[in-house]
Amino acid sequence: MSEAGKRTTIAGLLGSQERNVDVTVKGWVRTKRGNKNVAFIALNDGTTINNIQVVVDPSAFPEELLKDITTGASLRVEGLLVDSQGSGQPVEVQAKEIEIYGKADPESYPLQKKGHSLEFLREIAHLRPRTNTFGAVLRVRHAMAYAIHKYFNDRGFYYMHTPLITGSDAEGAGAMFEVTTLDMDNLPKTADGKVDHSQDFFGKATNLTVSGQLEAEIGAMALSKVYTFGPTFRAENSNTPRHLAEFWMIEPEMAFFDLVDDMDLAEDFLKYLIKYALDNCMSDLEFLNKMYDNELIDRLKFVVENDFVRLDYTEGIEILKQSGKKFEFPVEWGLDLQSEHERYLVEQHFKKPVILINYPKEIKAFYMKLNDDGKTVRAMDVLFPKIGEIIGGSEREADYDKLVGRMHEIGIKPEDMWWYLELRKFGTAPHSGFGLGFERLVLFVTGMANIRDVIPFPRTPKNAEF
């Protein structure tokens, strides 16, 4: 049998009912302590937040070997799995054989000591997954990705892959990164002095996508229910704890769904994901609850168990105006809500997640369905405690003429979006969708405070080291 085949994961060992059997365990040393008569190694392999305790009789091993077993070193240990003598763990391994795969010099290994700041850990993104915090976050992140696919698959949605490089620049969701192979030091120019993208790789100007929605609509108008789950890019210079320049987004798009169906789906989806985390990630959540956010688990349960408030933007503005609270940004019908306003509604006024609907058309995208009042659109934002906006969505404008009218108002050339308009020309149907920011979800579920700490390699202004 291969070495890998013989290895038992630490998660497996800690859950095992077997005793007095030989096992092979592999992982990285978290701590070593002890005395002349006995040494204890806490070993972690990332399969669980918990370590396995390896008990070593120093007289049975060369002194040289024991000296090199320091925090960060990687080991193979063979030994007997027994009931643990100490408290805190059900089992431990009595070492019979130890092999060091790789040493970690105590003088220079950055994770030698516990309690580094999250800011410092961001500078060592290649090592921070070995900390308890990032191990927990990355496991929860994985569980959420899996649960998203499971949720949609179980409900008849098809996973649709939409392009990351896009030739349509009318999505309007944020500033875009350009994609080009032109020689930056010697740009070809047209007669009127502009960059000549006809000589570019795609024969036109292209960008990294800010959203897969427009293409997902193509899928919905054929397969009924689709979703995307991929990276999106926004070149906005917003240095906030909730924005990344590269983030992952989940965008379901459903034919024959109106705004109420859309809201129902968004609420059910979020509750499912949070419940999935409570059911499957409890040891990680308990750790995060203890270390970072004592209300985390209560908050997650609260969101699962309570209905979201559904409210008109106009009423939301009234509540904010009457709150008597001094906000940094103005509150006025027609202005977009800032995160401070969103959080006031959620955390102080309703004390529940809020779905705000029917926003003024001027502050929402051109593709949202116009209400009969001619002033507002069938938009919905789901607002969460500590996060603010976690989902943005809408019923889409399905009427050809109204959509063209909106494009003219906003200054989008209909011919640039001919294919999008043809969806309204041939077999148009009511349809709706939304976008969930994956990292905002992971922020909420882990209770972490900064979005840079819930993605392995954050991309933010002036930061793309790893």
Answer with the entry of ligand ATP, Mn ion, none that 27 interacts with (C-beta below 5 to 8 A by kind): none
Pairing of strands 39-44, 52-56: antiparallel
79 touching Mn ion, by CB under 5 A: no
27 touching Mn ion, by CB under 5 A: no
Provide the mask over 433-452, with x wherever binding to ligand ATP is found by CB under 6 A and - wherever it is not. Answer: --xxx-xx------------
Is residue 138 within 8 A of residue 455, CB to CB? The reply is no
Query: Of the two residues 342 and 453, which places its CB atom closer to Mn ion in the complex?
Result: 342
Cα(366)–Cα(452) distance, rounded to whole angstroms?
A: 31
In the complex, minimum distance from the CB of residue 264 to Mn ion, in angstroms, rounded to a whole number: 19
* Torsional sign, CA 340, 345, 348, 349: positive
247 touching ligand ATP, by CB under 6 A: yes
66 touching ligand ATP, by CB under 6 A: no
**Six-digit token string for 291:** 């270390």
Query: Of the two residues 219 and 392, which places its CB atom closer to Mn ion in the complex?
Result: 392
Tell me the C-alpha to C-alpha distance, in Å, between residue 214 and each of 168, 169, 246, 264.
10, 11, 19, 22
Pairing of strands 354-360, 309-312: parallel
How many residues belong to the chain? Answer: 466
Cα(83)–Cα(250) distance, rounded to whole angstroms?
A: 45
Q: How many CB atoms lie within 10 A of CB 328?
A: 7
Answer with the entry of Mn ion, ligand ATP, none that 110 interacts with (C-beta below 5 to 8 A by kind): none
**Six-digit token string for 256:** 């024959």
Question: Chain-centre distance of CA 281, in angstroms?
Answer: 15
Would you state the torsion angle of the CA atoms of residues 282, 126, 234, 388, taken in this order, to the nearest 10 degrees? 30
72 touching ligand ATP, by CB under 6 A: no
- Number of helices (H), then strands (E), in the chain: 14, 16
Pairing of strands 91-102, 165-166: unpaired
Query: Of the two residues 385 and 392, which places its CB atom closer to ligand ATP in the complex?
Result: 392
Applying CB under 5 A, which part among 225-233, 304-312, 390-398, 452-460 lies near Mn ion? 390-398
Name which position in 27, 135, 392, 433 contacts Mn ion (CB under 5 A): 392
Answer with the entry of ligand ATP, Mn ion, none that 308 interacts with (C-beta below 5 to 8 A by kind): none
Positions in 316-375 near ligand ATP (CB under 6 A): none
In the complex, minimum distance from the CB of residue 270 to ligand ATP, in angstroms, rounded to a whole number: 11
Positions in 370-409 near ligand ATP (CB under 6 A): 389-392
Query: Of the two residues 389 and 416, which places its CB atom closer to ligand ATP in the complex?
Result: 389
Positions in 176-195 near ligand ATP (CB under 6 A): none
Residue type, position 106, single letter: P
249 touching ligand ATP, by CB under 6 A: yes
173 touching ligand ATP, by CB under 6 A: yes
Footprint on this chain of Mn ion (rule: CB under 5 A): 392
Question: Which residues form the interface with ligand ATP (CB under 6 A)?
Answer: 173-174, 234, 243-244, 247, 249, 389-392, 435-437, 439-440
